Amino acid sequence: MDASTPSHAEPGLKTGVFRQVGELLGALRRSTVGKTLVALAAGIVVVVALTAYGQIELNSWNKPFYDAISRRDLGDFIDQLVIFAVIAGVLLVLNVAQRWLTETLQLRLREALVTDLVGLWLLPRRAFWLQGSGPMGAHPDQRMHDDTLKLCDLSITLGVGLLQAAMLFGSFAGVLWVLSKDFSFFYDGQDHPVPGFMLWAAILYAVAGSLMTYWIGKGLIPRNAERYAREGEMRFSLTRINEHLDGISLAGGEADEKRRVALHLGEVLRATSRVVLGLTNLTWVTAGFGWVTVIAPILVAAPLYFSGKVSFGGLMMAAAAFTQAQSSLRWFVDNFSAIADWRATLLRVAGLRQVLASDLEAQQSGSRIGYAESEAGTLEIEALEVRSWTGHDRLDTPDLVVHAGQRLLILGAPGTEKTLLFRALAGLWPWGSGTVRRPHGETIHFMPRGTPYLPRGTLAEALTYAMESESYPREAMVDALASVGLQRLAPLLDKTGRWERELSMDEQLRLGFARVVLQTPPWLVMDEAFGAFDDDTLALIIEVLNGRLAQTGIVHIGSAGEAHDRLFTQVARLVKVPEPEEDLQP
């Protein structure tokens, strides 16, 4: 791509798992709930440690319990049942405490992560730049909602599981070593000592399972990431249909939309099928090791029993200790599918945060329009040229100066990018050349083409967007609505609704002008704002602009119809610039 055009290549991402986890942990530490997260995590560590100690006591209880059974000692048997009840009761309390701590940690972790991502996303103009940053800008809503929910859930579940596994192994490794420290096997006419035989058997068994699991299941990470991407596209397609039902129904486009949804569903199913195949292959290892584990503890401990080094109770104690140690070591085998899912969501969430935290505007190549301040009451446009993949457009008047209260109309020749000119004046499209000097300390209200954005909330909030509705008296809101012929909406100011659906297009457009009347900005820049009005409504809007907003400087881009002669004092034209052969390529 030529240097004079904007680049949409996705910036390189740091995909190392430790780097990504470190960046997210740094963001969590700086969040408002950072100390709460640390306190909850510390509480989980304490509870897990106490639980591990309780399980050691429960394992030690196996020997006297089974020895009492082998001796047929009823009194000792009942005593051991009482001891079991005490140990189990304590472990139950610890289990409940651990559940509350983990659920609360998930809740606060999601609060911190989503708040951080949304805060970065909604920095001034950051969301706009993100949508042009390549694949990373596609469906950021899914990454901030679904992916963060899954990431927080899996992170806590896997993290607590790994902590428990580590503590249990550390606890029962000592038990296995003590039980088999004097073990030896007879071969070639002599005994060969193998200190800690049961511990080494547990480690080798788990390592073998982990290596096989990783080798077979490593492909699940990219497959899960692909599935989430395809699901995001399908959800967006369904949402878009739901938001444009009128147009689809009037055009009879149901069959076409059904075809599009079927295409997206096919992509989701193909991506999911690849995940299913990977999980199926992985099950050969995980389920196979699970069945072997049923008998493996007894097989490993049997040499100690048959050699007479332990009693039957000791055999059961050794088998239970081996089961605990081995289950801790095979945590990777049991959880690999969840680990792959976690890694895929980490890639999506951490990747989004890296892009949001970077300078998105600086990553775009091409020559730039300069932005500066002019003296108050003056908007200056100097030698402005807008560049895009379709060519270069420039104003036929090199230097335009608009003073407070003056009105400038910019007409566009066929094929010119009038909306990009509007975005260039707003600072959203900096590719081109020239300088835009904005009045120092004065607000410019930008009104894009089409219906205005109406947030979900009360009508008062929609009318005052993006200001606080409490900063305007109700009488001023009612008066602003009446000035554009929307008197009927005055009783609905406190009603909450989806106003883009409840109001007609004409009412939405007029509500946009009522917003301008209420806020009375010193400057107003519009993009094709008059084309959808009928003659009576246009006359009303012109009256408002010439009357109550007479001191507002106005720049309108595009045809103005009847307002051309009644409103504007200056006229300029946007024209195409001949392109050299070596310049822009699509």
- Does residue 477 form part of some domain? yes
In a domain, 583, yes or no: no
34 or 214: which carries more pLDDT confidence? 34
Burial class (CB in 10 A: 0-12, 13-18, 19+), 326: buried
Task: Read off the pLDDT of each residue in 379-400 and give the average, rounded to a whole number.
Answer: 89
pLDDT, tens digit, for every residue of 119-143? 998 888 788 878 766 666 677 888 8
Give Cα separations from 214 to 94, 210, 218, 480 (angstroms).
Answer: 33, 6, 5, 65
Using the 3D structure, point to which of 330, 357, 384 is the last residue of a domain.
Answer: 357
pTM over 0.75: no
In a domain, 582, yes or no: no
Q: What mean pLDDT is predicted for residues 251-263?
A: 82
Measured between alpha carbons, how far is 78 from 303 in angstroms, rounded to an integer? 30
Per-residue confidence (pLDDT) for residue 42, from 0 to 100: 95
Judge if 469 and 525 occupy the same domain: yes
Same domain, 384 and 246: no
Residue/partner pairs of 458-462 with CB below 8 Å, 24 or more apart: 458/493, 458/494, 458/495, 458/496, 459/489, 459/492, 459/493, 459/494, 459/495, 459/497, 459/499, 460/493, 460/494, 462/499, 462/511
Residues 336 and 399 reside in one and the same domain: no
Greatest mean pLDDT among 13-17, 187-191, 195-199, 444-448 lies in 444-448
Q: What is the CATH number of the domain that holds 505?
A: 3.40.50.300
Q: Is 428 helix (H, G, I), strand (E, B) or coil?
A: coil
pLDDT tens column, 35-57: 999 999 999 999 999 998 888 88
Q: What is the pLDDT at residue 1?
A: 36
Residues with Cβ within 8 Å of 255's Cβ and at least 6 positions away in sequence, in order, are none
Identify the CA nearest to 555 among candidates 453, 418, 365, 429. Answer: 418
Do residues 308 and 388 share a domain?
no
**Dihedral sign for Cα atoms in the order 476, 477, 480, 481:** negative
364 within domain boundaries? no
Q: Give mean pLDDT, residues 508-524.
A: 94
- As for how many domains the chain has, the answer is 2
> Distance between CA atoms of 130 and 179, rounded to whole angstroms?
61
Binned at pLDDT 50, 70 and 90, residue 111 comes out as very high
pLDDT at 189 over 70: no
Residue 533, pLDDT > 90, answer no
Query: What pLDDT is stored for residue 56 in this prediction?
Result: 81
Q: Are 415 and 490 in a shared domain?
A: yes
Residue among 324, 347, 401 nearest 136 (CA):
347
For the chain, state the CA radius of gyration.
Answer: 35
**How far is the CA of 499 from the CAs of 282, 364, 451, 505, 507, in angstroms?**
50, 36, 11, 10, 10
Residues 377 and 272 in one domain: no
Read off the pLDDT of each residue in 91-114 and give the average, rounded to a whole number. 94
- 144 with 348: CB under 8 angstroms? no
Rounded mean pLDDT of 172-199? Answer: 65
CA distance 27 to 21: 10
State the pLDDT confidence band at 13, using cuts at 50, 70 and 90: low
- For residues 159 and 377, give the distance between their C-alpha atoms in angstroms, rounded to a whole number: 59
Report d(CA 506, CA 531) in Å as an integer: 11
Q: Locate tokens 């034209």: which residue?
A: 573
One domain for residues 384 and 260: no
pLDDT band at 501 (very low <50, low <70, confident <90, very high): confident
How far is it, in rounded angstroms, from Cα 485 to Cα 136?
43
Q: Is the peptide bond before 296 cis (omega within 30 degrees of 0)?
A: no
- Token code pair at residue 501: 């659906």
pLDDT for the residue 12: 44
DSSP 552: S
pLDDT exceeds 50 at position 394: yes
pLDDT of residue 186 exceeding 70, the answer is no
| 63 pLDDT higher than 90 | no
Q: State yes or no: pLDDT of 586 exceeds 60.
A: no
Q: Is the residue at 1 inside a domain?
A: no
- Nearest 5°: the CA angle 37, 130, 445 is 105
pLDDT of 584 higher than 50:
no
The residue-averaged pLDDT of 545-555 equals 93
Q: Please, what is the angle between helix 312-329 and helix 331-357, to 10°?
A: 20
163 is a domain residue: yes
Three-state SS string over 272-338 comes to: HHHHHHHHHHHHHHHHHHHHHHHHHHHHHHHHHHHCCCCCHHHHHHHHHHHHHHHHHHCHHHHHHHH
Check: CB of residue 434 under 8 Å from CB of residue 384.
Answer: yes
Which residues sit opposite 11 in a β-bridge? none
In 329-390, the DSSP E strands lie at: 370-374, 378-388
Residue pair 354/117 in contact (Cβ under 8 Å)? The answer is no
Model confidence band, residue 390 (pLDDT cutoffs 50, 70, 90): confident
Q: Are residues 138 and 226 in the same domain?
A: yes
Q: Which residue has the higher pLDDT, 128 or 11?
A: 128
pLDDT on residue 180: 66
- Given a cut of 70, whether residue 568 has pLDDT beyond it is yes
Amino acid, res. 235: R
Output DSSP code: residue 11: P
Residues 490 and 460 in one domain: yes
Rounded to an integer, the average pLDDT of 421-447 is 91
User: 324, 55 in Cβ contact below 8 A?
Assistant: yes
Q: Which two tokens stand for residue 23?
A: 């960046």
Q: Do 353 and 444 belong together in one domain?
A: no
Instruction: Check whether residue 386 and residue 332 sit in a common domain.
Output: no
Sort 80 into a burial class: Cβ within 10 Å, 0-12 / 13-18 / 19+. Answer: buried
Query: What residues make up the domain containing 544?
Result: 370-577
Can you tell me the distance from the alpha carbon of 385 to that of 393, in angstroms, rounded to the nearest whole number?
6
Q: Which helix (H) or strand (E) holds 526?
A: strand 523-527
End-of-domain residue from the set 325, 357, 389? 357
Last residue of a domain, one of 357, 389, 422: 357
Quick check: 396 and 543 in contact, CB under 8 A? no
Residue indicated by tokens 């009357």: 547
Q: pLDDT by residue (tens digit) across 459-475?
A: 999 999 888 888 899 99
Residue 59: which of 284, 381, 328 has the closest Cα?
Answer: 328
The answer to the question of residue 339 being in a domain is yes
Is 492 within the bounds of a domain? yes
User: Same structural domain for residues 332 and 403?
Assistant: no
CATH code of residue 231 = 1.20.1560.10
